[in-house]
A and B are shown apart, each in its own frame.
Chain A
């Protein structure tokens, strides 16, 4: 069975500083990778995804993630965070060769941006 590990449960960071959220998955097969964000009192929203092609994917609000097959990682980064980036971030994986479309999530990383 697949598993996803988010090594940091909480990441405090000052406004305008960079942030990196680590995500590692356990799978020997090709996978699809996702980052979801959950803002306070809101539902999960897709931030970005990797399906194939370029290993660097970007979101519209300045986040980027790089797929590293050899390290089975999909770390999320932002060079300069805003207060509004305060949220919980979830990494998820899906096996495209498996029947169904279920996502396996990590435990989440709570980002608190301080002024």
Chain B
């Protein structure tokens, strides 16, 4: 099986534009997470899905950020009216509900640059 994949790998946009970042988790993983990693920092939690529902969205910085996972597999992180401060690497991770539930498997990330 393939690992977690994220598209695009890089995204350059202009301030004020709308962007969508996609995450394809490991097949069968019911839990999916989004993190944001700013330059020189560790990843920061954004949102966690269990199945189709957002079980914890406490890390979303404001209402410009929204994420969906309509069929319990692929997830899309949506950012409206982008700002230069949104520039970061956006990481997606997934985990199973089996014996190895504590291990989150990370994708390569999407590097977002807002000009």
Residues of chain A having any CB pair with chain B under 8 Å:
4, 6, 9, 32, 36, 42-46, 49, 51, 90, 92, 94, 99-108
Contact = CB atoms under 8 A, between A and B. Distances in A.
Contacts, number: 62
Given A43-B91, A44-B43, A106-B42, A101 B106 contact: no
B66 to A, nearest CB: 18
Interface of B: 3-4, 31, 33, 35, 40-45, 48, 55-56, 59, 91, 93, 95, 101-109
B107 A43 contact: yes
Contacts of B59: 102
B109 A49 contact: no
Contact of A101 (B40, B42, B95): B95
Given A32-B102, A44-B91, A99 B42 contact: no
B102 A90 contact: no
Nearest to B54: A100
B102 A107 contact: no
Contacts of B45: 102-104
Given A43-B106, A49-B102, A100 B56 contact: yes
Contacts of B105: 46
Interface centre among A49, A102, A107 (most CB of B within 10 A): A102
B55 A44 contact: no
B58 to A, nearest CB: 8
